[in-house]
Chain A
């Protein structure tokens, strides 16, 4: 294994009873990079994080974090990492400040250092005003911010964020995103799990898509989208025009079969080099007498990627009828 990766895992397997939570996960994260781990509930994201942070022992496979083996060198691993789990791991009865000071002292800061670090982080995470209130009185967003702050007390070189913004209000979400970006600017490596495609898109340098305990796709956001084919042209046909005529035009020009949504009066089709071919499309539509309300080029989103890879929408398996569309 090479030393240039901050996190690398090979063939991680973890079985709980009859469930194979991890079924051979492979991962590499370069030093200072942000890896987004994308997948639906139960895909194995949290289990992966727990294995990599030494909270769980894998049944099979190896993983090294900061160059240390998570099985045999767990103590060293713990010295390098910070972890923010899915639920805020804080002492509810203590104040925000007391929580951070406690973590600092546990991480071998002196009392004075721990106090100073706590004050810094409270400021940074927009919690200075609530610092001396019990965590019990905090909103969900404040708790998550404090939790993130707690995982940064010891300035870890590698940070694990397990669904850091799930259930957060937009403001806390933005504060969290900004904090993550600021961290990587200082060279911190981040592994972030999320169900939100836009979050992975916004933050991650590279993305792995996991499902049923396996990595089913990996690459940069752009690479994954490229796998979906190129750009797509999206027409909204005016009520007085014929939807069928628009479809026939696109069927002739486009690089794939057009998809119709009669309710929204839209026709969509993949068109490679979309912008350059726009004039041609407009001319043909004009010639066929089709009137448009709207016309646009759309790049495939990670939602499309996920749908194509797993056969269901990222955040809701019940939406699987979309598959047909």
Chain B
């Protein structure tokens, strides 16, 4: 079709700034709606509440007992930073499931027939998903402290680590938003999320150092954005182990920043484009 990116001249009737203000306000209303929804159905939060706790316990006490880190660092100190990588980067499937659910119930049609910014539905969703990630972060810190993990480098570095984690979490929700626009049902989103994110989580330095992996897998793991998050957290919380030569592992904080900005730059406009195209079809 030739009508792919037709602007809506009508929108020009309102000054740019006012429009942006309302877009933001609409996004806020929609984000609050998602949060209110979670408050009524807290089981939706198991991704960021129960699941990280189970992983922390499993890996600390079951697998961790058999994993000995080179250099003799404590495994739980190593593990919690890895969990930051896994939980924060793992936000995409949840976003995709949420959006496909809204589409399958017709709720998105209602939103689209209202005079609201086209980006608001997506921004609202990514904002609320970010809010749940803040909760996930708190849960993770709590679980970590309980098994003996400590923030060894003080509050400033700890906050920086938290900030970087949330940044990549926000970036990943936009990947999920794109997937949500392309997939048909929440079930598909759930299944695909599992298929993509489980290997992505494990082929990384989140749970074990990458040095022992076969060369090709090690390269993938070292360039995996999750590994960058884990490595950055280890630098900032303490618990770093021998660092591989790969560039992202040498400069993990910068790598997280570049990954996040890059993902947002590519996937946010794509998600909005896909959302708009649903109308144009």
Binding site for B on A (CB under 8 A): 53-57, 68, 71-79, 81-83, 85, 87-94, 98, 102-103, 105-108, 134, 150-151, 154
Contact = CB atoms under 8 A, between A and B. Distances in A.
Contacts of A87: 105-106
B110 A93 contact: no
B33 to A, nearest CB: 5
A105 B113 CA distance: 14
Given A105-B29, A106-B30, A106-B116, A89 B109 contact: yes
A91 B114 CA distance: 15
Given A54-B113, A57-B280, A88-B106, 12 more contacts: A53-B113, A55-B279, A74-B10, A76-B13, A83-B110, A90-B105, A90-B107, A90-B110, A93-B40, A94-B33, A107-B114, A134-B40
For the complex, would chain B's binding face be called helix, strand, loop or mixed by DSSP majority?
A: helix
Given A72-B9, A72-B10, A91 B115 contact: no
Contact of A102 (B3, B9, B10, B29): B29
A92 B105 CA distance: 9
B111 A106 contact: yes
A228 B114 CA distance: 42
Interface in B35-64: 36-37, 40-41
For chain B, give the interface size range: 20 to 34
Contacts of B26: 106
Contacts of A85: 106, 109-110
Given A75-B10, A94-B33, A105-B29, A57 B105 contact: no
Nearest to B19: A75
B22 interface: yes
Given A87-B106, A89-B107, A105-B29, A55 B112 contact: yes
B9 A54 contact: no
B105 A102 contact: no
Contact of B105 (A73, A74, A89, A105): A89
A125 to B, nearest CB: 16
A75 B8 contact: yes
Contacts of A94: 33, 36-37, 40
A55 B113 contact: yes
A70 to B, nearest CB: 10
Contacts of A89: 105-107, 109-110
B37 A83 contact: no
A107 B116 CA distance: 7
B11 interface: yes
A16 B62 CA distance: 55
Among A53, A74, A87, A107, which residue has the most Cβ atoms of chain B within 10 A? A74
A93 B98 CA distance: 12
29 contacts: A54-B113, A55-B112, A56-B281, A57-B3, A57-B279, A57-B280, A71-B6, A72-B6, A73-B9, A74-B10, A76-B10, A83-B109, A83-B110, A87-B105, A88-B106, A89-B107, A90-B107, A91-B33, A92-B105, A93-B40, A94-B36, A94-B37, A98-B36, A103-B110, A103-B114, A105-B25, A106-B30, A106-B111, A108-B22
